[in-house]
Amino acid sequence: MATAGVGLVAGMPMAMNSCKGANEKIVCGLIGANGMGWANLNAFLKQKNTECAAICDVDENVLNRRIADAEKIQGKKPIGIKDYRKLLEMPEIDVVIIGTPDHWHCLPMVEACLAGKDVYCEKPLGNSIEEINIMEKAANKYNTVVQVGMWQRSDPHWRDAVEFVKSGKLGKVRTVRTWAYQGWMEPVPVRPDEPVPEGVDYDMWLGPAAARPFNRNRFHFNFRWFYDYAGGLMTDWGVHIIDYGLFGMGDPVPKSIMAMGGKMAYPDDAAETPDTLQALYEFDGHTMLWDHGTGIDGGYFGRNHGVGYVGNNGTLVVDRGGWEVIPEKKKGKDLMERVELQKGTGKGLDLHMENFLDGVRTRNRDLNANIAVAANTARVAHLGNIAHRTGHRLYWDAEARQIIDDDEANKYLVPTYRAPWKLPIV
């Protein structure tokens, strides 16, 4: 494991996953312990017969804090690791939780599959469409149980909303509106480069991304506003919300994509990704709109995020708070019965982790946010970003996983990895 890239570690012995009984302990290792990585570990440790054996993070400050936090929860101190490859060598680890920035999802996940570990990976699945393709291929080749952190797939009120959409009561659904307006996401002030903070392995944090001087704007939470590491609000909140736009309509694949937007609210801040974006997706029989804005909360139907399934008889609106149906009116009469707000439970993440561990124990790979579901949703989000960055209307060939007759757009599909890291070969 001393060299970088999965293609160079094919000699690593592959562990064999086997069913674990309900009373057998499932042991995890966490890679990336800040933010959602820690939230995911918390959800894991809430489940019965679980234990965290190791935590990996390139920031010693985060690592030491999370080791202490985990010890308080489970009464046992996990070991601390700075190189994820050493964590994957630990035979006692059954599952790996990946909570890293997006550009660090592909390599650890593929190597975890190769090592015989099951994987809970934070969303979006990958930071490029080719990474997504490789990750899906690896999970299928090694029969890995994979759950991706689109936890709304396990949240009962979201699933109830989809059941209502599929009942046909809304009539023909002609368009799906998906949106996130996040007022708490303030502009990123321009800051000078600075020395790497003590305790941070910055070269490892960059990994396959381009070499750049350390700048705190790109580190920890704000990594999501830079294309080297993520895809902005589109692949952050968008993957959650767009996912339900797809799920409610049967998880279709778009035929074409257009997008407009940019840094319209905060043109002089440090972020690369757009603070304002609309992407329009064409499907057989309906369209889907993604609309986002940072720094403000104005969304559709009085909600700062959500999905609206617009049918001939009425519109179903769902967000993290609940769902309702707003009837269409003709000649002063409702075309269908109004459904008042059906409130959510707020337990989506815990239920998502429970679904994952059930899959690990039974070797059931058909989980709520399995590899196929997550791959499709992530591709759709990335295509929206590519349409915006090129300014082109894209026509997608789902079978070839290529954009039709558009060499410029296709260049965005495959990332360039910084040596010595290499894009995995599966």
% of the chain surpassing 70 pLDDT: 96
For the full predicted model, state whether its pTM sits above 0.75: yes
pLDDT tens-place string over residues 365-404 = 999 999 999 999 999 999 999 999 999 999 999 999 999 9
pLDDT tens digit sequence for 20-77:
777 799 999 999 999 999 999 999 999 999 999 999 999 999 999 999 999 999 999 9
The pLDDT score that the predictor gives to residue 14 is 55
| Model confidence pLDDT, tens digit, residues 219-256 | 999 999 999 999 999 999 999 999 999 999 999 999 99
The rounded distance, in Å, linking the Cα atoms of 320 and 303 is 10
- Beta carbons within 8 Å of 182's beta carbon, 6+ residues apart: 233, 237, 292, 293, 294, 295, 297, 304, 305
CA 161 to chain centre: 21
Among 3.30.830.10, 3.90.226.10, 3.40.50.720, 3.40.50.10320, name the CATH number for the domain at 1-155+173-311+345-426.
Answer: 3.40.50.720
**pLDDT value of residue 18:** 64
Q: What span, in angstroms and rounded, lies between the C-alpha atoms of 328 and 188?
A: 41
Percent of the chain with pLDDT over 90: 94
- Given a cut of 70, whether residue 12 has pLDDT beyond it is no
3-state secondary structure of 37: helix
Q: Give the model's confidence band at 16: pLDDT under 50 very low, under 70 low, under 90 confident, else very high.
A: low
Over residues 91-115, the mean pLDDT reads 98
Domain-wise residue ranges, the chain: 1-155+173-311+345-426
